Structure 1
């Protein structure tokens, strides 16, 4: 082969690789009755879960038309987001789809394109349809039912509904891989929704455990397809929770000693407590996934965990899991990204080690009342955040703080953070607030010491629930004027509350 032919051959190989590695999906269409006020985005999970960082903004013309080429590597489930409503789509490389959205009634219509068939089926079966038992009124009534009635009124009807959807997919004219992917997601989302219902309702503990075992006992944890869809990795976490529940039932029944191996996890209870204390629950799930799932699932699921920890800016937990991950997958496809993320978190910590805008109250350990601090801030409106480094919703709310602080940058508002963490987590708490650049005033109390703070904060409220996070607003005279205030994510509603208190004091 001569030199020119060799170069041509190599170039064709390179181009072929590039196309397969960075293929595109073209999404286009029109928004009917478009007012120009709403944004259009598409969120494509790297592995699983909804993270704002995975959203791609889709430009819309004044007439409501849009078109975008989305780079994807392999088949992907995605959420098209318009007017805060989610529409689930199935994207395949080198395909296209044309659709219409109606801003007036929020309806989506699949019009045409090479991805028409699979997405028509997706709309027909309504993959992420909110189940009847998760309705706020219905779930409260259903939660009071005995076990047999829950099986009869919740589990069996829901599985019947799911199986009817699966039959529709099976009878459709689709590529085999598309059928398999949609059917698998229908199965996994059904387990996930039932798990959420059972674990979030005030069910009797015996009933809760019985239902969890009934749902997961006969489920094969291995994925039906691989790469698996996002619902599968939600299932992985729920399956690990099921194994944990089953293991601790067995520990109690068989009187397994603290230094003996825990079933399904293979380490002692003493070791488990040490791991969770020092590295967090994600590391515990790392151990469980290694014991109970195939290696390719372990690699994907724990990278997904690391993404979540990075977004939360939880350096302590990220570092522990990252080190274990790199030891097991030294040549893994995500190693470079993990190293980049770790360096980024470490840099954030270093930058804020001497940040004077992050203030920890001197002698906070001896404080027995929030008013000991509030009285030193007279002349300022105080927005108090009661939170914990262990609290997922708390950390989600932290992501909205930059816009909140920017809104009140030149106004007399002070941000105070009352953290609930045990004393042995003190250094982790200090690290966390620095990595997250939580400018403001900080103090920490353990579970026992925070009790009098809750008592005074909730003294005049009908709802005495001490859930996390909660927010409170004090006026410039140091008086608590808004208990259970709006969260940072509620943006305009919170801004109104704060402005009302500011204006009252003028």
Structure 2
């Protein structure tokens, strides 16, 4: 009996090991490191955590589950993508922002590091776009006939490198998938931008979209479950097909034929779509109603990805409506559960922080019309001004670093003032974001025409307005730092604020 019990325990331990992934290592110099997990194939900021190592710099983190997973390690521009697989422990040493690997999973992660999957800017055909005499100015037919095959040849050669690495089957499949859609995103993003910049080629988009789809079809369901790059490409593919459907409709002078074609392509008539256009944002409407543009499984995943984006940006109302739509129309029970799990912490946070007295939406925010009136309540205090918008992903990503800054300065005479450029119709969306993200501080919202008071006071012409922008006002209400460091830049902003506080 004891013999059988021992065998059973060994089998159970082996099964548990196969369902767990361990990440450990050292951070030098000792300090916190940010770790972001993927959730349903997307990097999910709600799954971001700060790893606090021991005094020696050592840390260990265990993940449950039988699937491979991608993670970001590090912060902002210095972050690196790594791959964890069950039963293949990975040890990392993060030394002065350089990453070194050891352990069973070192093989694939050293390969991934060489592939530079963090940014498409490192791909040779993207670098070439910015060079003098680059192919961005070539006729589109030339790009399609000659450059595109070269890009695919390059991708195939890199695929062979991955194949020759002799990785475990599941690991190789995961890396190959991410690699493929990494190239697809470079083509649909950077390359498309450069080719179309300042150009007005007749039929450019139609031919280019057809070429892209021939090389990079709709990602498979299994690929969308594991690959962040595949999910980004799915969104871009939907937008391309959407653009093509509208272009063909508008170009056809025969309204009857155009209507029939649009209905066959999208699954909805243009008349019905136009009648619903005023009730919600266009992208939300198109995603929900134009299901004919994608296979059913991909359309349902695209809806979940859109919900993910709404939750990431704290859009409680839009997310709630989309969740109800997913619950009603999705045939994939797993996706429904994932959608509910995505929305739950957003709703909880919105309710939890609604009564936070450290979040103050100024009662006079609609009447604020000058820089002086904006800063008047804070005379005698240093003011850090965060110019942002709920539509601005870079603004939102840098906000993740501000709680640490606030903690460092909590005993100082400083005010964190958030000045949002959001339109009047998005007032509730703005409020939801503030409370859902526990954005402590003072809050003012101005629409696009009103926000000019700040930019004009700074002497910045409208064509140079960009977000996010960070300002620092001294105790007299005078702007002394017109372009402060971003919160994600570590201690640089802290030092700037401390200098003004000590003056």
2:86 is aligned with 1:93: yes
Query: 200, 203, 218: which is aligned to 1:206?
Result: 200
Q: Per-residue displacement from partner, 1:179-238 (whole Å, max 9, x unpaired)?
A: 443333222110112223146558125367478526523232142854442221111011
**Alpha-carbon distance change, 25 to 443 in structure 1, aligned in 2, over 3 angstroms:** closer
Tell me the equivalent position of 2:160.
Answer: 167
Deviation at 1:443, TM superposition (A): 2.9
Q: Per-residue displacement from partner, 1:98-132 (whole Å, max 9, x unpaired)?
A: x664737936355x63x576556546655557323
After TM superposition, the structure 1 stretch with the greater mean CA deviation from structure 2, 39-48 or 245-254, is 39-48
Instruction: Report the Cα distance in structure 1 between the residues aligned to 2:14 and 2:277, rounded to whole angstroms.
Output: 42
Instruction: Report the Cα distance in structure 2 between the residues aligned to 1:199 and 1:316, rounded to whole angstroms.
Output: 33
Tell me the equivalent position of 1:132.
Answer: 124
Instruction: Report the Cα distance in structure 1 between the residues aligned to 2:432 and 2:67, rounded to whole angstroms.
Output: 38
TM-score normalised to structure 2 length: 0.78
Deviation at 1:333, TM superposition (A): 2.6
Alignment of 1:181-196 (within 5 A): 181-196=174-189
**Alpha-carbon distance change, 128 to 385 in structure 1, aligned in 2, over 3 angstroms:** closer
Instruction: Report the Cα distance in structure 1 between the residues aligned to 2:250 and 2:498, rounded to whole angstroms.
Output: 54
Tell me the equivalent position of 1:221.
Answer: 218
Instruction: Report the Cα distance in structure 1 between the residues aligned to 2:251 and 2:107, rounded to whole angstroms.
Output: 52
Alignment of 1:226-237 (within 5 A): 226=223, 227-237=225-235
Instruction: Report the Cα distance in structure 1 between the residues aligned to 2:425 and 2:75, rounded to whole angstroms.
Output: 45
TM-score normalised to structure 1 length: 0.77
Tell me the equivalent position of 1:145.
Answer: 137
Instruction: Report the Cα distance in structure 2 between the residues aligned to 1:146 and 1:177, rounded to whole angstroms.
Output: 40
Q: Is the 8 A contact 1:181 1:225 kept in 2?
A: no
**Alpha-carbon distance change, 93 to 430 in structure 1, aligned in 2, over 3 angstroms:** closer
**Alpha-carbon distance change, 363 to 55 in structure 1, aligned in 2, over 3 angstroms:** closer
Tell me the equivalent position of 1:479.
Answer: 478
Q: How many residues align?
A: 487
Tell me the equivalent position of 1:500.
Answer: 499
**Alpha-carbon distance change, 39 to 280 in structure 1, aligned in 2, over 3 angstroms:** farther
Tell me the equivalent position of 2:453.
Answer: 453
Deviation at 1:45, TM superposition (A): 1.0
Q: Is the 8 A contact 1:417 1:442 kept in 2?
A: yes
Instruction: Report the Cα distance in structure 1 between the residues aligned to 2:264 and 2:497, rounded to whole angstroms.
Output: 51
Structure 2's unaligned 5+ residue stretches are none
What RMSD in Å do the two structures reach over aligned CA positions?
Answer: 4.4
Deviation at 1:421, TM superposition (A): 2.3
Structure 1's unaligned 5+ residue stretches are none
Q: Is the 8 A contact 2:418 2:442 kept in 1?
A: yes
Q: Is the 8 A contact 2:41 2:227 kept in 1?
A: yes
Q: Per-residue displacement from partner, 1:296-349 (whole Å, max 9, x unpaired)?
A: 444444334434433432202211211111112477235456445545434443
Tell me the equivalent position of 1:412.
Answer: 413
Alignment of 1:300-339 (within 5 A): 300-329=301-330, 332-333=333-334, 335-336=336-337, 338-339=339-340
**Alpha-carbon distance change, 332 to 414 in structure 1, aligned in 2, over 3 angstroms:** same
Tell me the equivalent position of 1:247.
Answer: 245
Instruction: Report the Cα distance in structure 2 between the residues aligned to 1:462 and 1:237, rounded to whole angstroms.
Output: 34
Q: Is the 8 A contact 2:128 2:134 kept in 1?
A: no
2:102 is aligned with 1:106: no
Equivalent residue of 2:67, what SS? coil
Q: Is the 8 A contact 1:222 1:294 kept in 2?
A: no
**Alpha-carbon distance change, 493 to 390 in structure 1, aligned in 2, over 3 angstroms:** same
Tell me the equivalent position of 1:398.
Answer: 399
Q: Per-residue displacement from partner, 1:151-170 (whole Å, max 9, x unpaired)?
A: 69975544332121122334
Equivalent residue of 2:472, what SS? strand
Instruction: Report the Cα distance in structure 2 between the residues aligned to 1:213 and 1:335, rounded to whole angstroms.
Output: 31
Deviation at 1:252, TM superposition (A): 2.9
Deviation at 1:413, TM superposition (A): 1.9
